[in-house]
Each structure stands twice: as structure tokens, then as C-alpha cells.
Amino acid sequence: MKNKLKVTVLDNDICCGCGACAGVCVREAIEINTKDSFKPVINFSKCNNCNLCFEVCPAKGYPINKWLSSLDNNHTKMTIDRGPVLQYYKGYSLDPFIRTNSASGGVATSLLINLLKNKMVDEVAVVGMSNEKPQLIITNDIKVIMSAMMSKYGPVPVLHKIIPELKNRPRKIALTLTPCQLAGLKLAISVVPKLKDSKIYTLGLFCGQIQTYDALRVVASSMKVKYPDEAKFIAWRYGAYPGSMRYEKKDGTFMDKPYYEWLNLVVPFYSLKRCFLCPDGGNWLADLTLGDIHRNGTDENIIVCRTKNGFEMLKSATEMSCIKIESLNEDEIERSVIKNITRSKLIPSLILIKWLKKLKFPAPEFDYNNKLLKDLKLIFLTPFYIIRFFMISIIRHKNIINNLEKYPFFMEKIGHFLYYFPSTIIGFKFFIKVIKKIHRFKDMFGMKRPQY
């Protein structure tokens, strides 16, 4: 019997780096050296091919709608493109230090601290920095939580540690997780019954892509500095919203690359391949999903409350004057990351998965509503998403990317074109306006107008 994790996931380079496989392996046959890599290494001398690691791997896909159909909350509305929703909010931490030093509004940090202070949880899991790499920390120390503020954009196999911890000592705990990490935990709970003994609050993050740590070297190179030889990495989102990638040179001076500029440079070239095939950018499985407002952004968080646990967290933190929140109106929702994540992540990923399956290439399996693409009337964008994926696949070839890295300026321009593709095509925005006008004309005859 072959090891399915190796054949299906690792050999096809679609590992998302969540660490669930190592977390459930009872023979300790899977190792992840978090100082050097996020990828699991299988010791076949220990492995008995039970394939438990494959069962809990979210990279192969997961039955998200089946899981969500079991929500026991009559007030939660299941939306076709945004998942389960109790209420939409925007908000920020009332602690000035937290708000100023967080990636955006600081709501996640304040929620975690409030959960501990009110003894709603025994511990929380946060991602801090150690030797310039993100590392999981399970703690009840508020100072440690404060030190772990700001977003991390590298893969962190948090379930490698979380699963054994909760299996060996069940507890009340709050976790801040990406969609794939949360899905990996959900899959692990289904095969490790002991995990159900823990009371788990989940703060989910809106997630576009995460990048390999090679991205840090290239961003530094775009500022004419060699990393790690000539500079120390400080943070992905340093300073006032939206922040900058920051490095400290050996002479004590700092270099900053603005947030949207470094995204242009690294997303097409260094994002995990699996990220382009992940529809769950909205983190539908979380109790609360948090993110940046982005468009015309401020240092506030967008908050999607999805469950009773999420409502409890917000209610408690609001009553204790830890955070300030207010409901979003429909116009604010349309202009926020809530809507944008559907356009940039959910729809393109589903189209790519469908295309890859048609060509009999490896692709993850999900159970999203089959009416989704048809109802959103975005199927006409299919060729553009496929072309974008094809172009990104080409430029990521080892020889091409090695040569491009010598010219960071051109690399950044190419990255910008592909990051915002197809909007960067000359005339594309005009084309969209024409399509919308056609649909407005159809409205005159009582035909339903599609959503964009």
C-alpha cells in the first residue's frame, strides 16, 4: 500500500503546511522542522501506511457544506457565496497600544485577552516570531499575546503542536487559524475522538495567499539589500495601517516596503500552489472571521460573526469595553473584503478546480453548492482565470524565476500585472462596464440582474 499523503499531496506540491498530518501520526513517522520548512517529511521506516495523515489533510479538499449543514443555530443564515452568517460588523480595539501596533484594528488580540481575563478559556494559541520565523505559542500570558500582534504571511504548521496538546490535555482554548488550518483541525477531530473533550473558540482569518520564506529575500533585494546577510527581518505589516514589510540593516537603519507593493512582488511568484486552489478564503468554519477592510481602508477590522461562540466572544469583549463594534450596512459589505474574497478567491478557485479535473490533473475535492457559479453569473470570466493560472505556473518555473530574481524591478511589474489580472488588461474595465450596461438594459424587460 502506498502512502496517499505522499502520492496525492506532497508529490503534486499542494501541501498547505497546516501540520495536521504530523499532529495525528501515532507512530511519529512524520516530522516537520519548523525552523527550515513547513512541509512534512515522512520516515518510511516508521510509517505503516495507515494513511491517517491523508485523512486529516485539508489540501485534498473537505466537505465544507456538509459540515456547515449541521450548525444548530436557527439565527445563522447560510449564504451561497459568504458562508454562514449571524451578523456583519466592523470594529477596533479600545486599547490604543493594541490598535496602533496591530495589522489593522486589533480586534483579535483584544478578544483573546478578554477570553483569558474572563476565564472563558484556559489558554490561547498565537503565532509569534522566533529567529525571524513565525512559531506557534500556546500561552495564558497576556504579555506573550501582545508580543504576537501583527499578521504573519508565511506557512506555520500549527496543528503539528495543537493536536497532540489537546489530545493529551483537553482544555478550553481559543485558536486563531487560517482556513486550511481550521479545516485540518476539523478533520483531525473526526479521527481523534479525544479532541472533542476540548472547548474550542476559533478566530478565523480572511485569507488570500501565504508565501514561502524565499519571498523575504526577494523583497529585500528589491530594496537593494541582501537578506539575511545584510539585514534582519522585522515584520510583514509594520507601522500604521496598512503597514510595510520592515527590515533592519546592520547599521541600525530600517527599510520598509509598503504593503501593497510587496504583495505585487511576492503573491504570483511565491504563494503556495495550494493557495490558488483554495475557495475558502472567507474561513467559513470559524466562529468569527476577521480581516482588513482593504478598500479605502482604515485601522479597523471587518468581522463576520458566524456562530453562537462568536457572538459570545463579541458580546463579552464589548461589555468589558475591550472592543468597539458596529453593524455593517449592505453598501459597506459590498465594498469590503467580504465581497472581494468571493471575487478573488472563491470563484477563481472553483473554476480552476473544475478545469483541472476536466483535464484529469490533481485537484482538491469540495462540496460547494453547484449553483454557485451559475447564480453569480461570473462564468464568463473562466478563460481569464485559467490564463492567469497558466501564466503564473510558467513564471514559477525554476529557471525563469531564478533569472527574474536578478531584476526585482521587472519582477515587481510582472507580479502587479498578474496579481490584478484580468483588470490589468487594457480595456478590460471598459469591457466590464459594457457588460453591466447590457444587463441594465435587460432589467428594463424584467430580467434578473447578475451580481459582480
- Tens-digit pLDDT profile for residues 9-39: 999 999 999 999 999 999 999 999 877 778 9
3-state SS assignment for residue 325: strand
pLDDT at 440: 66
Q: In the chain, what are the domain boundaries?
A: 4-60, 64-211+272-338, 341-443
Least confident of 117-126, 282-291, 312-321, 438-447: 438-447
For the segment 69-107, what is each residue's pLDDT rounded down to a tens digit?
876 566 788 888 899 999 999 999 999 999 988 888 999
So what's the pLDDT on residue 147? 93
CA distances from 393 to 268, 270, 308 (A): 9, 11, 41
Q: To the nearest whole number, what is the mean pLDDT of the chain?
A: 90
DSSP 38: S
| 414 phi and psi angles, rounded to 5 deg | -65, -40
CA distances from 291 to 221, 223, 272, 303 (A): 29, 28, 20, 7
pLDDT in tens, 204-233: 999 989 999 999 999 999 999 999 999 999
pLDDT over 50 at 162, yes or no = yes
pLDDT value at residue 449? 45
- Of the chain, the percentage scoring pLDDT greater than 70 comes to 92
Q: pLDDT tens across 267-317, in order?
A: 999 999 999 999 999 999 999 999 988 766 678 999 999 999 999 999 999
Report the alpha-carbon distance of residue 315 to residue 263 in Å, rounded: 35
For cell 520564506, the residue is 213
pLDDT at 441: 66
CATH code assigned to 4-60: 3.30.70.20
